Structure 1
Amino acid sequence: MSHTPPEVLEALHALLNRAYAPYSGFAVAAVVKSGSGRLFGGVNVENAAYPLSRCAEQSATLQMVSAGEREIAEVWVLSRGLEPATPCGGCRQVLSEFAPPDTPVHCLSADGPALHTTLGELLPYAFTGRYLSKPDKS
């Protein structure tokens, strides 16, 4: 966990205990650092209607956007268990809306190793806004 500043690690562990995961029992906490250096945390929030559940990475990103920030500079994800959990496909897509491919993503396990990667390695062919640009018809 050497890539994780102490204040981020402390926030992750506090958040992990706030996760709402009564169905899966799989608590996840996330912290995103914005371009301005501010930290925003989130947890997974499950719902009996499963599609309405939200992941920790989405929750942290929503907090950041609600605070008026639009750029993710770094991401940390913490889960319990022996293996670090990476962001799911949907979260990778949400992160890619606000973070470039070289953004560091640190996946930490409370009881085991860490995985340090980048968003581009996790989602090499992200669907981004550039696909939605209108073609020049001149």
Structure 2
Amino acid sequence: MHKHKRMRSMKTDKLIEEAIKIRDKAYVPYSKFQVGAALLTKSGKVYTGCNIENAAYPVSCCAERVAIFKAISEGETEFQEMAVAADSPRPVPPCGSCRQVMSEFFSKTMQIHLSNLKKQTKSFTMEELLPFSFGTDDMS
């Protein structure tokens, strides 16, 4: 567990299951590394995403961003928690690009649950994942 021991709720366990399940839809012909994400909104709806690769690697999109962009495109802007899962030796960490996008839409205290297929899970707040992040306040 992360340095702050947190109890996982049934809601969190279901979110992790959704992240694991959506991995099957990942389009990963190059890396073969499937990632799934599930995002719970404050309205109670869950948006899922999987990574989608492209032969021109920079235009690929990670599971976390797919889930966030789906939610935003449907008008959702308030989020409760997110789960991310992959077949990795440790709970899968989000890349830097995903952390930046997450910091744009998630509160500093929102929980992000990182997991692998063995269901080893570490939970972090947004602030723990990306401390001292760049945001709109830096542009004034």
TM-score normalised over the length of structure 2: 0.87
Structure possessing the higher radius of gyration over alpha carbons: 1
Q: Does the 8 Å contact 1:79/1:108 carry over to 2?
A: yes
TM-score of the aligned structures, taking structure 1 as reference length: 0.88
What CA RMSD, in Å, does the superposition of the two structures yield over aligned residues? Answer: 1.7
**Number of residue pairs matched?**
133
Q: 1:86 and 1:4 mapped to 2: Cα distance?
A: 22
- The answer as to whether partners of 2:112 and 2:126 remain within 8 angstroms in 1 is yes
Determine whether 1:72 maps to 2:79: yes
Secondary structure of 1:17's aligned partner: helix
**Equivalent residue number for residue 3 of structure 2:** none
Query: 3-state DSSP class of the match of 1:87?
Result: coil
State the match for 2:27 in structure 1.
20
Deviation string 1:95-131 (CA, Å, 9 cap, x unpaired) is 1111111110100100252111111001001111111
Runs of 4+ in 1 over 3 A off after TM superposition: 1-4
- Provide the C-alpha distance between the structure 2 equivalents of 1:20 and 1:85, rounded to a whole number of angstroms: 18
| C-alpha separation in 2, matches of 1:54 and 1:4 | 29
Structure 2 unmatched ranges of 5 or more: 1-6
Identical-residue share of aligned pairs (%): 38
Gaps of 5+ in 1: 134-138
* Alpha-carbon distance in structure 2 between the residues aligned to 1:47 and 1:29: 17
